[in-house]
Chains A and B, each alone.
Chain A
Amino acid sequence: MEDFYKVCVKLYASEVTPPSGDADLFVPIFHEWIRDGDLDLISLDVADYAHVPDGPGIMLITHETAFALDRSDGRFGLLAQRRTPLDGDGAAAVASTLRDALKVAARLEADFRLADRLRFDRSEIRIEANDRLRAPNSDAGFRAFGPVVREGLQRAGVERVGSLRRIENEPRDRLALEARVAGLSLVSEVVAP
């Protein structure tokens, strides 16, 4: 049986969207990344859902992970959703998805079109289990998923993982955890596996 891999990681950021909307800002950036092969991921396409309220906004779809400039929980941020299985266990999926998110976040922060405007929060990470069968949004699900998340964050190179709490959300939503972390860096030292 394949391992648990359906994980989402969200890094929060300040709103940067100009009056012209997400599309004008992020669509060219993502297309350029694909053209130039800037990510060490198999990049597939850019999807535009900017017209949907509190939706995934502009998405960069890769074979491994889908990245959304997401507002689904009412806060703007980068949501990385693991799409395909990977070698390893659930913690490996958390670590890999976080690394993917950090890579993309670092690139966005460094983009000249967003310079000094977009900054991701280094102290808070939202991690979701995108698999209601194996990690339901319940106390039992939290008990199983929590340690996996903690281990995954450590494997990703997060220096210190502080509190890890279950986010009280709508029961039908995905099981969601908030991790308070220190030493989270968007740069290369945590990008390396």
Chain B
Amino acid sequence: MSIDQPRWKDVLADRMPPAMAEEIDLYEGQMELRKQRKIEDKVFAEIRLRRGAYGQRYDNGKRYDGTKTQEIPFPRRSLTKGPDTEWDAPGMQRIKIPYGWMTAEQLETLADCAEEYSNGILHITTRQDIQLHFVDIEDTPDMHRRLAAVGITTREACGNSVRNVTGCPKAGICRDEVFDISPYAKAETWFLLGHRDVQDFGRKFKIAYSGCGTEACGRVMMHDLGFIAAVREEGGKEERGFKVVVGGGLGPVPHVAKLLYEFMPEDEMLPVSQAISRVYARLGEKRNRNKARIKFLVAKLGIDEFRRLVDEERQTMEPDPRWKDWLEEAHRPTREALDSPATDGSAFDAPGFEEWARTNLYDQRQEGFVSVTINLPLGDITSRQSRKLADIVRQYTSDALRTTVDQNFFLRSVHKQDVPALYKELHEAKLVLSGAGTITDVTSCPGTDTCKLGIASSRGLGAELREQLEARELQFDPLLKDINIKVSGCPNSCGLHHIGDIGFYGSSRNVGSYKVPHFLLMLGGARDDNAGNYGLAVGAVPSKRAPEVVDRLLDLYRDEREDEETFRAWVMRVGKKVIKEKLKDLLPVPGYEEDPSFYVDWHDAREYSIGDIGVGECAGEVVTLTQFSLATAESMAFDASVAIDDPGTDEEGVREVGRGAYLAMVAAAQGLLKVRNPDASQEPDVVFRQFREEFLDTKLFFERFIGANESQYFVNAHEAGGAVRDRDEARRRVEEAQLFIEAAHACYSRLLQAQAAEAGVAIAT
């Protein structure tokens, strides 16, 4: 007996908005054209990215198995979905959830899609999106149709476009907010989605909304464009508007956003966003993607000139009725609570309630109501849990919940009386992990698990830290619970390591003839003030020692803090130099024979980087001249980072920081030159010239997948003679030096591999 063959396209025809249905049909048609080779793979890559269909690790058809790199024999080797990206390789689907808001029905659809097209897991990202992994591209059009039928779009979830508009999950219920930003974030989302003025960006563009300037929830200061709710008195009436900031961003070279307008009236929100988009599209860098984010344009022009250009652009724009037609709705009161409690609040029998309630409940400004955080380990939830959660949402709220930038779910406007019953149901769904927003609620990007750019296992480390800290119940420790930990798999900062009290990002180091997974430790970041303070690198720690490093830091803080000093204040007072000294004994990596576990990343079984390289004459823990130079470069960059963190560093000191960071790059470059010439000069001009000839002109320095071209940092610094204009630039120079040194480490690894290959031995990659 056969099974009928209906199609989602037909079944959902009446439920999809026509425009969305057309877009998906078009995408499906483009997939067919690509299969017929009628669309260039580079073009198709951008097409699918703009539908949120992203690449995933090993999609180039190669995978390192711990001893060698194996070819993956996908069936259609000649068919690609982008440059060096196999058609048959599973990918990641990113799904936009504007300001994190979704209905129970949407959650159910996401759960079904996760089961049928992925592995039954929904992953919440640090920008409130949902991601599904291991997705076959052939499944994506139907998945998009099912999502469209419940009002979800994947359009422009990736690619050079306006990404998910994020917003504070407490909007509307927060005790400290100026007003509810939700309708504004919604209006921005739908106005800019597919707008003609946002189709020609050189890179992605991220927008965030916050209801206040002080809390961490909106993280506006790390965004390309940010809106912070504000009001002013105008003619005796209160007028709503926004403080507008622009040019923020994390990633390899983080920028704190600059103030564009102290107050912008609400009815200017959309036209100003459009004007900013037009200026960015027109003047933003297009060819060098490493300089293409708007933060570089703002830094290059200066905020005053950027503002002048935006104002000028605003005046040239034809009025659009959509600029204002949403405003009435924005002022309409919304009600998301049930009219009356769903239960009588009677006693119940579910363990752990008291502990959970201490960390996962938030008292709303609305009397008698609380919000509940569903703390998800590493941002993951199963499809079955999601359906149970959808039931709970329907039963105890008026049918909506939100995702958070801490990779959790947030249920709002629950009658206090209903909390015991709600807890019981969450308990049955195994969704009552306590410690939401505390030290145990570790944020982590996908890292080497699925990301093509991952250098180290951020999820592995995140899971390990979470487990160890939970075992000690630190989520309840009054002194330590508010410290937050964030882990990224690479410098791109999807795990938001810059704004963690303790941040880590993945790195690798050569130890003897082996590669060893490491994490760069970042201290001094803060979520407060809308993520307005970024940490700087202290140094690389072996991945397997990262939990010990955290323990040591917590012990030091516990022992040394003064009065009510926060962790960040302690870091800033004591100084990273002193702290680094106290971590010194945790930094060395034992020899491979002594403890091979250091050479394997968390939750992996493959040796991180080991092959036959080094066997024979190279064997042993020989520290090469290059390694010495790279270590020197790291020390110099670190010293510069300490100085720039010191508020007492004067103008002359700032200049020295810039120069020091530049010289750190010179030292790293000299280290690479020493691979071939042990007597390489240390004179900066000579180093630069030789480095350019040997590593840039030959493209030897360029990392294939890392995306960034860190050599440009060295070029820029050299051309400036090591000089910097101001503190901001000095700080950036320090960041760039660190990245250049990381790239030099990576380059050195490749040189070692090449040498081994020439010698005819098997190599690790």
B1–A148 contact, CB under 8 A? yes
A68–B119 contact, CB under 8 A? yes
Given A35-B65, A35-B67, A132-B112, answer yes or no on A45-B58 (Cβ-Cβ < 8 Å). Answer: yes
CB distance from B120 to the nearest CB of A (A): 6
A56–B121 contact, CB under 8 A? yes
A47–B65 contact, CB under 8 A? no
Q: Closest chain B residue to A70 by CB distance? A: B120
Q: Closest chain B residue to A145 by CB distance? A: B3
**Taking the complex as formed, is B255 at the interface, i.e. its CB lies under 8 A from any CB of chain A?**
no
Q: Which residues of B are found within 8 Å of A90, using beta-carbon distances?
A: 2-3
A3-23: which residues lie under 8 A (CB-CB) from chain B? 4, 6, 23
Q: Which residues of A are found within 8 Å of B467, using beta-carbon distances?
A: 51
Proximity string of chain B (603-632) to chain A, C-beta cutoff 8 Å, 1 when within and 0 when not: 111100000000000000000000000000
The stretch among A115-123, A158-166, A168-176 that forms the contact with chain B is A168-176
CB distance from A41 to the nearest CB of B (A): 10
Instruction: Return the contact of B134 from the options A23, A51, A61 (Cβ within 8 A).
Output: A61
Proximity string of chain A (77-93) to chain B, C-beta cutoff 8 Å, 1 when within and 0 when not: 00001011100011000
**Taking the complex as formed, is A138 at the interface, i.e. its CB lies under 8 A from any CB of chain B?**
no
**Taking the complex as formed, is B41 at the interface, i.e. its CB lies under 8 A from any CB of chain A?**
no
The stretch among B232-240, B243-251, B374-382, B659-667 that forms the contact with chain A is B374-382
Given A44-B72, A66-B134, A83-B136, answer yes or no on A144-B88 (Cβ-Cβ < 8 Å). Answer: no
Q: Which residues of A are found within 8 Å of B569, using beta-carbon distances?
A: none
Proximity string of chain B (379-419) to chain A, C-beta cutoff 8 Å, 1 when within and 0 when not: 01110110100000000000000000000000000000000
B66–A31 contact, CB under 8 A? yes
How many chain B residues touch A (Cβ–Cβ < 8 Å)?
55
**Taking the complex as formed, is B34 at the interface, i.e. its CB lies under 8 A from any CB of chain A?**
no
B463–A51 contact, CB under 8 A? yes
Q: Closest chain A residue to B66 by CB distance? A: A35
B549-607: which residues lie under 8 A (CB-CB) from chain A? 603-606
A72–B604 contact, CB under 8 A? no
Distance of A26 Cα from B291 Cα, bound (Å): 43
**Taking the complex as formed, is A192 at the interface, i.e. its CB lies under 8 A from any CB of chain B?**
no
A51–B378 contact, CB under 8 A? yes
**Taking the complex as formed, is A42 at the interface, i.e. its CB lies under 8 A from any CB of chain B?**
yes
**Taking the complex as formed, is A59 at the interface, i.e. its CB lies under 8 A from any CB of chain B?**
yes
B116–A42 contact, CB under 8 A? no
**Taking the complex as formed, is A53 at the interface, i.e. its CB lies under 8 A from any CB of chain B?**
yes
**Taking the complex as formed, is A193 at the interface, i.e. its CB lies under 8 A from any CB of chain B?**
no
CB distance from B202 to the nearest CB of A (A): 32
Instruction: Return the contact of B8 from the options A4, A130, A133 (Cβ within 8 A).
Output: A133
Task: Count chain A CB atoms within 10 A of each CB in B3, B108, B463 and give the residue with the most.
Answer: B3
**Taking the complex as formed, is B141 at the interface, i.e. its CB lies under 8 A from any CB of chain A?**
no
A81–B119 contact, CB under 8 A? yes
Q: Closest chain B residue to A4 by CB distance? A: B3
CB distance from B360 to the nearest CB of A (A): 16
Distance of A54 Cα from B382 Cα, bound (Å): 8
Distance of A45 Cα from B70 Cα, bound (Å): 12
**Taking the complex as formed, is A55 at the interface, i.e. its CB lies under 8 A from any CB of chain B?**
yes
**Taking the complex as formed, is B760 at the interface, i.e. its CB lies under 8 A from any CB of chain A?**
no
Given A28-B605, A89-B2, A172-B387, answer yes or no on A42-B119 (Cβ-Cβ < 8 Å). Answer: no
Q: Which residues of A are found within 8 Å of B138, using beta-carbon distances?
A: 84-85
Distance of A84 Cα from B1 Cα, bound (Å): 22
A27-69: which residues lie under 8 A (CB-CB) from chain B? 27-28, 31-32, 34-35, 42-56, 59, 61, 63, 66, 68
CB distance from A128 to the nearest CB of B (A): 9
A44–B120 contact, CB under 8 A? no
**Taking the complex as formed, is B11 at the interface, i.e. its CB lies under 8 A from any CB of chain A?**
yes
A49–B2 contact, CB under 8 A? no
**Taking the complex as formed, is A183 at the interface, i.e. its CB lies under 8 A from any CB of chain B?**
no
CB distance from A120 to the nearest CB of B (A): 21
**Taking the complex as formed, is B127 at the interface, i.e. its CB lies under 8 A from any CB of chain A?**
no
**Taking the complex as formed, is B478 at the interface, i.e. its CB lies under 8 A from any CB of chain A?**
no
Distance of A22 Cα from B407 Cα, bound (Å): 23
CB distance from B378 to the nearest CB of A (A): 6
Distance of A104 Cα from B11 Cα, bound (Å): 37
Q: Closest chain B residue to A84 by CB distance? A: B136
B1–A55 contact, CB under 8 A? no
Q: Which residues of A are found within 8 Å of B645, using beta-carbon distances?
A: none
B119–A130 contact, CB under 8 A? no
**Taking the complex as formed, is B36 at the interface, i.e. its CB lies under 8 A from any CB of chain A?**
no
CB distance from A182 to the nearest CB of B (A): 23
A63–B380 contact, CB under 8 A? no
Instruction: Return the contact of A52 from the options B1, B57, B115, B121 (Cβ within 8 A).
Output: B121
Given A47-B449, A49-B380, A51-B380, answer yes or no on A31-B4 (Cβ-Cβ < 8 Å). Answer: no
Q: Which residues of A are found within 8 Å of B315, using beta-carbon distances?
A: none
Distance of A84 Cα from B88 Cα, bound (Å): 9
A133–B387 contact, CB under 8 A? no
Q: Which residues of B are found within 8 Å of A144, using beta-carbon distances?
A: 1, 3-4
CB distance from A137 to the nearest CB of B (A): 11
Q: Which residues of B are found within 8 Å of A148, using beta-carbon distances?
A: 1-3
**Taking the complex as formed, is B648 at the interface, i.e. its CB lies under 8 A from any CB of chain A?**
no
B121–A49 contact, CB under 8 A? yes
Given A54-B430, A134-B3, A134-B6, answer yes or no on A34-B74 (Cβ-Cβ < 8 Å). Answer: no
**Taking the complex as formed, is A102 at the interface, i.e. its CB lies under 8 A from any CB of chain B?**
no
A48–B449 contact, CB under 8 A? yes
Instruction: Return the contact of A63 from the options B57, B70, B88, B606 (Cβ within 8 A).
Output: B88
A31–B377 contact, CB under 8 A? no
Q: Which residues of B are found within 8 Å of A49, using beta-carbon distances?
A: 119, 121, 380
Distance of A148 Cα from B1 Cα, bound (Å): 6
B603–A48 contact, CB under 8 A? yes
**Taking the complex as formed, is B90 at the interface, i.e. its CB lies under 8 A from any CB of chain A?**
yes
Distance of A132 Cα from B149 Cα, bound (Å): 15
Q: Which residues of A are found within 8 Å of B463, using beta-carbon distances?
A: 48, 50-51
Q: Closest chain B residue to A34 by CB distance? A: B65
B382–A72 contact, CB under 8 A? yes
A147–B1 contact, CB under 8 A? yes
CB distance from A180 to the nearest CB of B (A): 21
CB distance from A68 to the nearest CB of B (A): 7
**Taking the complex as formed, is A131 at the interface, i.e. its CB lies under 8 A from any CB of chain B?**
yes
Instruction: Return the contact of B121 from the options A55, A133, A147 (Cβ within 8 A).
Output: A55
Q: Which residues of A are found within 8 Å of B5, using beta-carbon distances?
A: 1, 4, 134
Distance of A56 Cα from B3 Cα, bound (Å): 28
A44–B384 contact, CB under 8 A? no
B378–A53 contact, CB under 8 A? no
Distance of A56 Cα from B380 Cα, bound (Å): 11
Distance of A18 Cα from B131 Cα, bound (Å): 31
**Taking the complex as formed, is B527 at the interface, i.e. its CB lies under 8 A from any CB of chain A?**
no
Q: Which residues of B are found within 8 Å of A47, using beta-carbon distances?
A: 119, 133-134, 449-450
Instruction: Return the contact of A51 from the options B6, B377, B387 (Cβ within 8 A).
Output: B377
B444-475: which residues lie under 8 A (CB-CB) from chain A? 449-450, 459-460, 463, 466-467
**Taking the complex as formed, is A153 at the interface, i.e. its CB lies under 8 A from any CB of chain B?**
no
**Taking the complex as formed, is A135 at the interface, i.e. its CB lies under 8 A from any CB of chain B?**
yes
Q: Which residues of B are found within 8 Å of A32, using beta-carbon distances?
A: 605
Distance of A27 Cα from B6 Cα, bound (Å): 39
CB distance from B706 to the nearest CB of A (A): 20
**Taking the complex as formed, is B321 at the interface, i.e. its CB lies under 8 A from any CB of chain A?**
no
Instruction: Return the contact of B430 from the options A35, A53, A89 (Cβ within 8 A).
Output: A53
Instruction: Return the contact of A42 from the options B3, B72, B121, B387 (Cβ within 8 A).
Output: B72
B1-36: which residues lie under 8 A (CB-CB) from chain A? 1-8, 11
Given A27-B604, A54-B384, answer yes or no on A130-B115 (Cβ-Cβ < 8 Å). Answer: yes
- List the 6 closest A-B pairs by CB distance, nearest first: A53-B430, A28-B605, A35-B65, A31-B605, A51-B377, A147-B1
5 A-B contacts, Cβ less than 8 Å apart?
A1-B7, A42-B73, A44-B72, A46-B605, A145-B3
Footprint of B on A, CB under 8 Å? Answer: 1, 4, 6, 23, 27-28, 31-32, 34-35, 42-56, 59, 61, 63, 66, 68, 72, 81, 83-85, 89-90, 130-135, 144-145, 147-148, 170, 172-174
15 more contacts with CB within 8 A, not counting A34-B65, A35-B606, A172-B111, are A4-B3, A23-B603, A27-B605, A42-B75, A44-B89, A51-B377, A52-B121, A54-B382, A56-B120, A63-B88, A72-B120, A72-B384, A85-B138, A144-B1, A148-B2
